[in-house]
A and B are shown apart, each in its own frame.
Chain A
Amino acid sequence: MTALVPRAARRRAGQLASFAEALLTPHGVDRYLELLDPMLVRKEIRGVVTEVRRQAADTVTLTIRPSRAWRGFTAGQYVRVSVHIDGVRRTRCYSPACSQYRTDGLLELTIKADPHGLVSSYLYANAERGMVLELSQPDGAFTMPANRPHGVLLISGGSGITPVISMLRTLVDEGHGGPITFLHYANTADDVLYRDELAELAATHPGLRVAFGYTHEHTGGDLHGFFGTEHLHAVAPWYRDAETYLCGPTPLMDAVRTVFDTAGLSEQLHTEEFAPPPLQLDTGNATGQVRFTHSGAETANSGRPLLEQAEEAGLRPEHGCRMGICFSCTKVKATGCVRDARSGELSTEENEEIQLCISVPVGDVEINC
């Protein structure tokens, strides 16, 4: 689209924008435009809700028109969505469920209200047309290679459907030639999200097979009970020659991983965690001092993630998901060693960027915070 705008005009627009920034320094143009209309912002990304649909009892689907800085996403990626709840800006990650080629430029997010989830419950209860959300550019490496695999197996459970249905819709838009199986697990038939859309896709795309597995019912689905090899043989017997994309609750993820590992296919399995893997913390053997250089705060290493230690020391570092996916709490570690509590990976180099929420000090560390 930008190619249609003459280069000279674009350059002029760019000059005008930097002139406006120079006039409105130090706050910048967005801080003034947003007061007229939050969607006018140029650098930050906002999204206005254009449609709200509640397709299952605890789920809300939002159609969102992003503001001008939005650059589009790749199927499988997520965006950080921020809302203000009782004065505090809360950020969570959600994967768009639409095709990356959606022509109207709109974005579709499906959010399952977790009774303990502040943001999901808030959105479920309060989302309405005209609501403005703060968005980030898309992020995440759970994507298909540009050179598409021939056979594609998409496995999801519950609200983990969103990144994989985005992949499916994208493949359908591309007129994908190879076989696709979309295997989705839900507790019961009533809990299936996107049932009509999936049926429609299956009807129009010959290579696509959509299969529903009901974990808590014995009839009515294509499959029943929890995932196992027999399910694979039933709906995608060619899975050994395919690339598999998986997103869902931890038990499903574990079950699929075990099957693929045993079959020696772990290279062909690609996953996205919604629920964070449990952090491995060893608070009994923690040693060393943690020093936060900017604030001067210092505390004895408790063995808990640095974000918690910083908060206990009275600091309030910016953060989002608290589980290592949103990178809002990234800070520079000046000296010392920290361990990634998810993977056990060590960061030993000086001046390395680390995520406070999943990093645990190993001995003395200095954090620029």
Chain B
Amino acid sequence: MTGLQDRLTPEQVEEFGREMDEIRQRLVADLGKEDVDYIQNLIKTQRALEVTGRGLLFAGFFPPAWMAGVAALSVAKILDNMEIGHNVMHGQYDWTRIPALSSQKFEWDNVAPAQNWRHSHNYIHHTYTNILDKDRDIGYGILRIDPAQKWHPYYLGNPAYASVLAFIFQWGVMLHDLEFDRIAKGERTWADTKEVGANMLRKAARQVGKDYVLFPLLTGPLAPLTLLGNATANMSRNLWAFAIIFCGHFPADVESFTEEETENETRGQWYLRQILGSANITGGKLFHIMSGNLSHQIEHHLFPDIPARRYPQIAEEIRASCAKYGLPYHAGPLHKQLFSVAKKLVKLALPWNGEPSDPKPTTLERDKDLAAA
């Protein structure tokens, strides 16, 4: 695979980094009331959909009401987790000092506790993006999604595991923080999981309590229908979040990196890695909102703490910058990206570890001796 260092000369990398920093500075200086109004309105919409959805399930004996209720609740959970929760918990609105928009205080409508998730996602995944053995989001410790991951007969079930994970994604995200794979390898002990484990139990109990006990009981004889409705809404959100997130880093042309090539990385190199390791999904405005603007995965990885509504505003500029430096800017429609991920999951179930279509160095050849040294 083409090394990270082979793409551009060191000067070019730093120049590119400066361009990214400038965009960042401009965005930060421009943050204001519009950004707050946007997220507050979105929260209003989400709460209204949630209340409507829950309300309609009280009339769940009437099939159209049940279906509309489930639809409203599904969209509410998707908005809560993605455009609101994921982004607020990234600290995108911490500058507002509004407690309800504070990354340290926000909890999402999801069994994964915010505190655990912030560590594994904001810190581990966003810092070590796509570095093998460092970024635990590469295959989530259960899938083989990169040819550089060593094959094991366990991976024969790759497509099956992925399909199951898609349906129970919120539980997968929650259990991810136990780092079960590392416990199995002896890198971590059960005792290390005590605090994250306790957080999980507490959070999961509350989530299960409302969706599968309290709201069903409130609807009396309709309890089974309500339970089914809530489960369907949770599942819809699971499938959607799985699809969006798997298209962010796993399509075929997205690259991964080794610890050696990312040692002592400069800021410019870090930016470069974020671009090469992420992929956007193309679509309309509503699609971007429903994806939490993770459809702008590249922009999100460059500036994870800038309000996501800003990503579409800078996408063209980032794309132009990439073109200028001969860097790829991965993007494709959802169906295409999903198909690419699915193909990869099936291929990598087998011992095959051939290089994916190896991207050639697209700019100046760097002194190979220097890279080898």
Q: Could you say which of A23, A89, A91 contacts B210, with CB atoms under 8 Å apart?
A: A23
A91 contacts across to B, CB distance below 8 A: 97
Q: How far is the CB of A43 from chain B (nearest CB, A)?
A: 11
Q: Is B314 an interface residue (CB 8 A)?
A: no
Contact of A23 with B214 in the complex, beta carbons under 8 Å? yes
Residue ID in chain B nearest A82 by CB atoms: B97
- In contact, A84 and B36 (Cβ under 8 angstroms): yes
Contact residues in B for A35 (Cβ distance below 8 Å): 44, 47-48
From A22, A26, A87, A89, B31 is in contact (CB under 8 Å) with: A87
B21 interfacial contact with A, CB 8 Å: no
A87 and B109 contact, Cβ closer than 8 Å, known pairs A22-B206, A22-B209, A25-B207: no
Interface residue? A10 (CB, 8 A): no
Interface size on A, as a range, is: 20 to 34
Query: Per-residue 0/1 for A77-99: is the Cβ within 8 Å of any B Cβ (1 yes, 0 no)?
Result: 00000001011111100000000
A89 to B33, CA, bound (A): 11
Contact of A89 among B47, B48, B98 (CB under 8 A): B98
Chain B residues within 8 Å of A316, by CB: 91, 94-95
Closest to B107 in A: A26
Least distance between B122 CB and chain A CB atoms (Å): 9
Chain A 13-45, CB within 8 Å of chain B: the 1/0 string? 000000100111111000110010000000000
Partner of A26, one of B33, B44, B108: B108
Chain A residues near B96 (CB-CB < 8 A): 84, 87-89
Task: Give the residues in chain B near A84, CB-CB below 8 Å.
Answer: 36, 96, 98
Query: Closest Cβ of chain A: how far from B51's Cβ, in Å?
Result: 7
Sorting the interface of chain B by its residue count into under 10, 10 to 19, 20 to 34 or 35 or more gives 20 to 34
Q: Is B340 an interface residue (CB 8 A)?
A: no
Any A CB within 8 A of the CB of B34: yes
Closest CB-CB distance, A246 to chain B, in whole Å?
32
Return the CB mask of A47-89 against B: 1 if under 8 Å, else 0. Answer: 0000000000000000000000000000000000000101111
Once the chains are docked, how many angstroms separate the CA of A88 from the CA of B123?
25
**B6 interface contact, C-beta 8 A:** no
Closest approach, in angstroms, between the C-beta of A202 and any C-beta of chain B? 43
B219 within 8 A of A: no
Cβ of A217 < 8 Å from any Cβ of B? no
CB distance from B178 to the nearest CB of A (A): 20
Smallest distance from the beta carbon of B215 to chain A beta carbons, Å? 7
Q: Does A296 contact B (CB under 8 A)?
A: yes
A318 at the binding interface (Cβ < 8 Å): yes
Separation of A86 and B33 alpha carbons in the complex (Å): 5
Q: Shortest distance in angstroms between B33's beta carbon and chain A's nearest beta carbon?
A: 4
If A26-B109, A31-B47, A84-B36 touch, does A89 touch B97 (CB 8 Å cutoff)?
yes
Are the C-beta atoms of A296 and B123 separated by less than 8 Å?
yes
- Is B160 part of the binding interface, using a Cβ–Cβ cutoff of 8 Å? no
Cα distance A32–B108 in the bound complex, in angstroms: 14
Q: Which residue of A lies closest to B31 (CB)?
A: A87
How far is it, in angstroms, between the C-alpha of A32 and the C-alpha of B48 when the chains are bound?
9
Kindly state whether residue B320 has any CB partner on chain A within 8 Å: no
Count chain B CB atoms within 10 A of each CB in A19, A27, A84, A316 and give the residue with the most. Answer: A27
Known: A25-B210, A26-B109. A31 touches B44 (CB 8 A): no
Cβ distance B278 to chain A, nearest Cβ, rounded Å:
22
B32: Cβ under 8 A from any A Cβ: yes
Residue B35 is within 8 A (CB to CB) of chain A in the complex = yes
Are A88 and B97 closer than 8 Å at their CB atoms?
A: yes
Set A22, A23, A26, A88: member contacting B95, Cβ < 8 A: A88
Complex CA distance for A75 and B253, rounded to whole angstroms: 68
- In chain A, what residue has the closest Cβ to B34? A87
- Cα(A355)–Cα(B282), bound, Å: 46
Closest residue of chain A to B109 (Cβ to Cβ) is A26
Whether a CB of chain A sits under 8 angstroms from the CB of B323 is: no
- Distance of B42 from chain A, by nearest CB (Å): 12
Q: What chain B residues lie within 8 Å of A24 (beta carbons)?
A: 210
Q: Write out, one digit per residue, whether chain B residues 88-109 have a CB within 8 A of any chain A CB (1) or not (0).
A: 0001001111111010100111
A277, chain B: closest CB distance, angstroms: 25
Nearest chain-B residue to A32 (Cβ)?
B47
Cα A19 to Cα B94 with chains together (Å) = 30
- Candidates B43, B102, B108; contact of A318 at CB < 8 Å: B102
**Chain B residues in 8 Å Cβ range of A89:** 96-99
Residues of A contacting B32 with CB < 8 Å? Answer: 86-87
A91 to B37, CA, bound (A): 19
Docked-complex contact A318 and B33, CB < 8 angstroms: no
Assuming the A-B contacts A22-B206, A23-B215, A318-B97, are A87 and B102 also in contact, with contact meaning beta carbons closer than 8 angstroms in the complex?
no
Whose C-beta in chain B lies nearest to the C-beta of A369? B104
Determine the residue in chain A with the shortest Cβ distance to B119.
A294
Residue of A whose beta carbon sits closest to that of B84: A27
Q: By the criterion CB–CB under 8 Å, are A22 and B123 in contact?
A: no
A88 neighbours in B (Cβ, 8 Å): 95-97
Q: Using a CB-CB cutoff of 8 Å, which residues 22-55 of chain B contact chain A? A: 31-37, 43-44, 47-48, 51
Q: Of B36, B43, B209, B218, which is within 8 A of A87 by CB?
A: B36
The residues in B between 97 and 150 inclusive whose CB is less than 8 angstroms from any CB of A are 97-100, 102, 104, 107-109, 123
| Residues of A contacting B207 in the complex (Cβ-Cβ under 8 angstroms) | 25-26
Those 8 A-B pairs whose CB atoms lie nearest each other, nearest first? A26-B107, A87-B36, A87-B33, A89-B97, A25-B206, A87-B32, A316-B94, A89-B98
Question: What are 15 A-B contacts with C-beta separation under 8 Å?
Answer: A22-B206, A24-B210, A25-B206, A26-B108, A26-B203, A31-B100, A32-B51, A84-B96, A87-B36, A89-B99, A91-B97, A316-B94, A316-B95, A318-B94, A318-B97
Known: A87-B35, A89-B96, A318-B102; 7 extra A-B contacts, CB below 8 A, are: A22-B206, A23-B214, A25-B210, A31-B100, A87-B96, A89-B99, A90-B97
